[in-house]
Amino acid sequence: MKSPGGLGRLLPAMRYTIAGLSAAWRHEAAFRQEVIVGVPLIAAVPWLVTEKWRMALLIGAILLVWVVELLNSGLEALCDAVSPDAHTLLGRAKDLGSAAVFLSIVIAVLVWVLVI
């Protein structure tokens, strides 16, 4: 089902975005933990660095973790909807998503260590 084009698409898209963030907050402990750690770090950025490009790197690294976590959570929800039973390929998909989250956290830590 396609949504309308143009500006008429913005309001429904924003509703989907809010619903997705809300669902992640309610159902995903890892997302909550990453937000609880990330928000104070983002708030501290102006006191840690003065250059705008460094600020962007630090904030972007945190946002990257959140984006990858949201994608991983979506993948896990899809796998669970496809089959509640254990399946090798579904397990692999979940493991790959988890590995992506881990690597995004490694990237974030490296960026923060190198920039600060």
Could you tell me the two tokens for 47?
């006191």
Of residues 28, 34, 51, 69, which has the active-site annotation?
Answer: 69
Q: Respond yes or no: is residue 69 known to be catalytic.
A: yes
- As a whole number of angstroms, the distance between CA 3 and CA 55 comes to 36
- As a whole number of angstroms, the distance between CA 24 and CA 22 comes to 5
- As a whole number of angstroms, the distance between CA 62 and CA 65 comes to 5
Residue type, 34: E
Catalytic site residues?
69
